[in-house]
Amino acid sequence: MRYYTNVKDLGDLNAAVKEALEVKKNRYAYKQLGENKTCLLVFFNSSLRTRLSTQKAAMNLGMNTMVLDVNQGAWKLETERGVVMDGDKSEHLLEAVPVMAQYCDIIGVRAFAQFENKTDDYSEKILNQFIQHSGKPVFSMEAATCHPLQAFADLITIEEHKKKARPKVVLSWAPHPRALPQAVPNSFADFMNEADVEFVITQPKGYELAEQFVRGATVEYDQDKAFEGADFIYAKNWSAYQDPHYGEILSKDMNWTVNTEKMALTNNAFFMHCLPVRRNMIVTDDVIESPQSLVIPEAANREISAQVVIKRMLESL
Ligand code: AN0
Ligand code: CP
């Protein structure tokens, strides 16, 4: 595997899940693979899980890992070609990326949507500059439109916990005080549409995701109706995608918070969220602390999804 930016890069999803479960059983079995190889993780945005789980995955494979926080201690980077650099940005990505590539064998990049220009965000401008100018395998640690390490971990978690062959999985919008990217719900939809599940998306009007991610999913604007008979509830906030409101908050309706009454409508569903989560905005204390909450196992599987991706990249070097 040379690049990991969305579900398609994994190829056969069943095979990928099988490989993940094998890795999970013996995560140190491939310790030789990464010997004398270096994984560089570049963060343009904050992270707790991705930062730790991806380093852990690379270390399990015997790699050295280095982390660069672009906004803390590195030079501020210009990303647009042709700009007269007389502002606060000291260095251009066009030099910075090939320089970073000198010191490593594989690069992970976190660069969220900037909400300044939808076309720029949805063309993955920053991630693609790493792909074009590094000459190294590159994987997304949440880029502008997708978070495929998260969605792969989510799929592994669903496979481990499902009680029927084809569970009903509901992606539910929930309120949040700040405008968040669509990357997590986009990737979750991308994976669920490929997986053997009944997939439903529920959201207030105006929060429709991009067609290339929604595809054949059922869209239900009545959250209670969507929750009926669900086996998994996957809560997440996202900002509006559709023009002319791209990147805006259209609603903070607390009737969409996932609580015990709403969970009672489901088939004793598991609760999922990628974290970080705002309690009593997205989900109540009671639900996230309930035995049905999978948020910690889900986070644990981030190590496994990252390890499958980095392992495949090492095998391709
Ligand atoms: C980010 C988001 O919603 O994309 C990261 C989630 C993994 N969340 C926040 O910025 C709170
Ligand atoms: N779920 C996730 O990617 O979390 P972080 O933003 O903490 O990495």
CA-nearest of 156, 219, 162, 161 to 185 is 219
Ligand lying nearest the CA atom of residue 150: 2
68 three-state secondary structure:
strand
Q: Tell me how far CA of residue 28 lies from CA of 32, 34, 59, 116, 239, in angstroms.
A: 9, 11, 9, 43, 40
- Residue 60 Cβ < 6 Å to ligand 2: no
Q: Tell me how far CA of residue 223 lies from CA of 171, 173, 227, in angstroms.
A: 10, 9, 6
77 pairs with which residues across the strands?
91
Ligand lying nearest the CA atom of residue 50: 2
Domains of the chain, start order: 3-146+302-316 (3.40.50.1370), 148-298 (3.40.50.1370)
Q: E strand or H helix at 200, and its extent? A: strand 198-202
Q: What is the pLDDT of residue 73?
A: 87
Distance 113 CA to ligand 2 centre (A): 15
Please provide the size of the chain in residues.
317
- By CB atoms closer than 10 A (0-12, 13-18, 19+), residue 223 is buried
Q: What is the pLDDT of residue 261?
A: 98
Could you report the per-residue pLDDT of 109-165, keeping only the tens digit for each? 999 999 999 999 999 999 999 999 999 999 999 999 999 999 999 999 999 999 999
Largest Cα–Cα separation, the chain: 60
Structure tokens at 246: 């791209």
Ligand lying nearest the CA atom of residue 272: 2
Distance 302 CA to ligand 2 centre (A): 9
> What radius of gyration, in Å, describes the C-alpha atoms of the chain?
19
- Residue 47 Cβ < 6 Å to ligand 2: yes
Q: Which residues of the chain have pLDDT under 50?
A: none
- Residue 99: partners with Cβ closer than 8 Å, 6 or more residues away: none
Q: Write down the pTM of the prediction.
A: 0.98
CA dist., res. 68 & res. 58, Å (int): 15
Distance 259 CA to ligand 1 centre (A): 21
Write the residue with the smallest CA distance to atom 10 of ligand 1.
180
Structure tokens at 300: 């644990």
Distance 36 CA to ligand 1 centre (A): 33
Distance 87 CA to ligand 2 centre (A): 31
256 three-state secondary structure:
helix
4 pairs with which residues across the strands?
139
Q: E strand or H helix at 139, and its extent? A: strand 138-140
